Amino acid sequence: MSLLKNKIVFISGASSGIGMACARSFAHEGATLILAGRRKEKLEQLASELKEKFNSETKILTFDVQNNHEVKEAFNSLPEDWKNVDILINSAGLAQGMHKLQEGNTDDWDVMINTNIKGLLYLTREVLPYMVKRESGHIINLGSTAGHDVYPSGNVYCATKFAVNAISQSLRIDVLDKSIKVSSVDPGMVETEFSIVRFSGDVERAKNVYRGVDPLTAEDVADAILYCATRPKHVNINEIILTPVAQAQSNFVVRKTT
Ligand code: 8X3
C-alpha cells in the first residue's frame, strides 16, 4: 500500500517519540518527508533508515521551534516545491517539571509555552499560507488528554494543551472556506521519553508514571495520526482522544498491583 505517495509530510519533533513513529508509518505509506527537530544526528540516522527500508525521499531541517527566526529561516531554506506541504504534523512538544504552581519553575513554564504553543503557531504560520494558496492541505496537531482535563500539578503543561485544543478548533474555522483539514490527536499516557524529559532524566520516576498500566506506545498514536491523514478527501477527523484501556481521562487510571 502506498496511501501517501507523492504527498509531502512535514513532521516537527521527528527526532523522538511520536514524531519519529509518524516518520516511520508515513514513510511506509510512501510519503515524502520533511523531518524537523533539534537533534541533527538523530534525524540523519532516521532519514537513512527510511531510505533503506522504504526508499523514502527526505529533507532534514534542524531548528528550535521556540525561535521564530529559526523557524522562518529553516522553512525558507526549502526548495520552492517542498514548501507545498500536504500534511503538517505538529508533534514537537514537551512537559518540563511538575510542581504546584506556587512552587513552579518559571523557566520550565517558558519552555513549555514557547514550544507547545508558540512553536506550533510559528511553524503553522509558515506552512499554512502555501496550503491556503492551493486550497488544499491538512494540519494535524498533537494535543493531549491534558487539554481536556487538568490534573494536580499539571497547571502550565495542561494550559499549553488546552491552548492547542483551542488553536485546532479556531484554525478549523479560519480555513473552512479553503478546503484545509485540521485534526487534533489527543493521547493520554504514552510511554516515550516524555516523562524522562519532564523529570529531568530521572528514569525511575518516569517509569513510575506508567506503573501497573499497559500504556500507549508512540506507534499507537502514529497509527491514529495516519488514520486522520488517510481519510477520503471529503472527510475531516476533528479530534481523536485515545488512552490506554486502564485510563478513562487524566485523573482516572487503574493500576495492576501484581
Ligand atoms: C501527556 C498526557 O497525562 O501524561 O500529554 O500529561 S499526561
Three-state DSSP class for residue 186: strand
| 94 Cα: distance to centroid of ligand 1 (angstroms) | 10
pTM: 0.97
pLDDT of residue 98: 98
pLDDT tens sequence across 114-139: 999 999 999 999 999 999 999 999 99
The yes-or-no answer on residue 122 being catalytic is no
Q: Tell me the pLDDT of the chain averaged across its residues.
A: 97
Stretch 184-212: mean pLDDT: 96
Q: Which numbered atom of ligand 1 lies nearest the CA of 209? A: 4
Ligand 1, residues 96, 192, 194: which to mutate, most atoms within 8 A of Cβ?
194
Q: Say if residue 218's pLDDT is above 70.
A: yes
Whole-number Å distance, alpha carbon 112 to ligand 1 midpoint, is 13
Nearest-angstrom CA–CA distance, 29 and 180: 21
Residue % of the chain over a pLDDT of 70: 99
* Domains of the chain and any CATH numbers: 8-253 (3.40.50.720)
Reported in sequence order, the residue ranges of the chain that DSSP labels E, i.e. its strands, are: 8-12, 32-37, 58-62, 87-90, 137-142, 180-187, 239-242, 247-249, 252-253
| 178 CA to centre of ligand 1 in angstroms | 32
Query: What is the pLDDT at residue 49?
Result: 98
Residue written as cell 537533534? 39
pLDDT (tens digit per residue) in 80-94: 999 999 999 999 999
For residue 1, pLDDT over 80 is answered with: no
DSSP-derived 3-state class of residue 200 = coil
pLDDT score of 2:
85
pLDDT digits (tens, 9 = 90+) for 44-71: 999 999 999 999 999 999 999 999 999 9
In this prediction, residue 210 carries a pLDDT of: 96
- Ligand 1: atom nearest CA of 144 is 5
Ligand 1 atom at minimum distance from 147 CA? 5
Residue ranges around ligand 1 (CB below 6 Å): 144-146, 188-189, 250
Residue 258 pLDDT > 80, yes or no?
no
Q: Which amino acid residue places its CA nearest to atom 6 of ligand 1?
A: 146
Among protein residues, the one with the nearest Cα to ligand 1's atom 2 is 188
Q: Check whether 111 has a pLDDT greater than 80.
A: yes
